[in-house]
């Protein structure tokens, strides 16, 4: 996998943020553009598709759809705001490069669309932010340090996996989120089961709620005042799910949830009121350094 150092990318927004969390997409776009990263939209993109349910139901269709997304422009690197999208497209690219039969099948379907197989590199936006020299650039642009803010970083399941395809950070104990919040002045607190799934992928409601409650309790016990993450599905689990958990069980954690890009924008001087924080179910007012 190439280093995430180009200055121009095709922007792959994915499905969930584009349809339900537009403020998340806005913050990712803003923080990247504020750092001089040029983003190009492509209306032809479709779902990545989903690397869990869709892939499990039909591996061939998963690969064909991913191949089409990759081949719309086989050269310009792709940047995503969703780890699942980055994981799915990166894994598909690896399969297409190594599996001759799968490549020929996909190529045959693409030929019907007037496309040829293309395998551009794919990056989650955290990888772009973590590239050599980028953190120094971020630090130089911080005008509103988040000193004193204690956060629980949640990495999710797809950001660094499958490691052979994604090639980013430590797949078992990643550190990129911790390092980035530290640059902003915030403190990433250690907590029990930090790398455990949030529970969102579970098809069993009770299991999903139990995993969420376990993580929230661990974060709260560690002294966290907010949660920081970079996955739209995890965002919904911790934000909407936290609200639903309170309604069903009475458990009150009151841990506001931030996309890392929102904190970056705030620290680099963006108007807090323009980042959609009022759309969060768990209110962010009163969070130290943010208000």
Report the pLDDT value the prediction gives residue 290, as an integer from 0 to 100: 82
Does residue 139 sit in the same domain as residue 94? no
Does residue 119 sit in the same domain as residue 140? no
Q: For the chain, which residues score pLDDT lower than 70?
A: 1-5, 291
Q: Is position 23 within any domain?
A: yes
Q: Is position 75 within any domain?
A: yes
Does residue 194 sit in the same domain as residue 68? no
Nearest 10 degrees: Cα torsion 252, 231, 33, 10: -160
Does residue 79 sit in the same domain as residue 147? no
Does residue 156 sit in the same domain as residue 28? no
Residues in the chain, overall count: 291
Report the pLDDT value the prediction gives residue 291, as an integer from 0 to 100: 62
Domain stops at, among 96, 125, 154: 125
**Closest CA relative to residue 228, chosen from 197, 189, 201:** 189
Domain stops at, among 78, 99, 125: 125
CB 255, CB 227: distance < 8 Å: yes
Report the pLDDT value the prediction gives residue 191, as an integer from 0 to 100: 98
- Which residue segment(s) compose the domain that 178 sits in? 132-279
Does residue 149 sit in the same domain as residue 242? yes
Report the pLDDT value the prediction gives residue 25, as an integer from 0 to 100: 98
Q: Is position 181 within any domain?
A: yes
pLDDT, one tens digit per residue, over 242-268 is 999 999 999 999 999 999 999 999 999
- What's 241's domain CATH number? 3.40.50.11810
pTM, two decimal places: 0.96
Does residue 196 sit in the same domain as residue 267? yes
Does residue 23 sit in the same domain as residue 138? no
Domain stops at, among 89, 108, 125: 125
pLDDT, one tens digit per residue, over 210-226 is 999 999 999 999 999 99
Does residue 108 sit in the same domain as residue 138? no
Q: Is position 3 within any domain?
A: no
Residue 100, phi-psi category: left (phi > 0), alpha (psi -120 to 50), beta (remainder): alpha
Q: What is the largest CA-CA distance in the chain?
A: 57
Does residue 273 sit in the same domain as residue 152? yes
Report the pLDDT value the prediction gives residue 1, as an integer from 0 to 100: 45
Number of domains in the chain: 2
Q: Is position 287 within any domain?
A: no
């Amino acid at each position: 996998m190439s280093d995430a150092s180009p200055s121009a990318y095709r922007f792959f927004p994915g499905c969930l943020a584009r349809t339900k969390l537009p403020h998340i997409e806005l913050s990712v776009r803003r923080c990247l553009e504020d750092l001089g990263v040029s983003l190009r939209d492509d209306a032809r993109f479709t779902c990545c598709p989903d690397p869990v349910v869709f892939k499990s139901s039909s591996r061939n269709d998963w690969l064909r759809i991913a191949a089409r997304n990759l081949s719309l422009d086989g050269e310009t690197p792709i940047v995503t705001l969703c780890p699942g999208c980055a994981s799915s497209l990166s894994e598909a690219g690896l399969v297409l490069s190594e599996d001759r039969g799968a490549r020929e099948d996909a190529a045959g379907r693409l030929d019907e669309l007037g496309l040829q197989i293309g395998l551009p590199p794919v990056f989650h936006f955290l990888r772009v932010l973590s590239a050599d020299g980028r953190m120094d650039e971020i630090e130089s642009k911080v005008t509103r340090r988040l000193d004193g803010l204690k956060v629980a970083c949640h990495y999710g399941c797809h950001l660094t996996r499958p490691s052979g395809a994604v090639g980013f950070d430590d797949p078992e104990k990643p550190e990129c989120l911790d390092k980035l919040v530290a640059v902003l002045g915030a403190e990433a607190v250690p907590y029990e089961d930090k790398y455990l799934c949030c529970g969102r992928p579970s098809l069993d409601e009770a299991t999903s709620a139990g995993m969420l409650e376990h993580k929230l309790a661990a974060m709260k016990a560690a002294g966290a005042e907010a949660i920081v993450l970079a996955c739209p599905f995890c965002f919904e689990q911790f934000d909407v799910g936290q609200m639903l958990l309170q309604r069903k069980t009475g458990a009150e954690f009151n841990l506001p949830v931030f996309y890392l890009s929102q904190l970056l924008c705030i620290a680099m001087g963006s108007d807090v009121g323009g980042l959609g924080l009022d759309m969060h179910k768990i209110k962010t007012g009163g969070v130290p350094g943010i208000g």
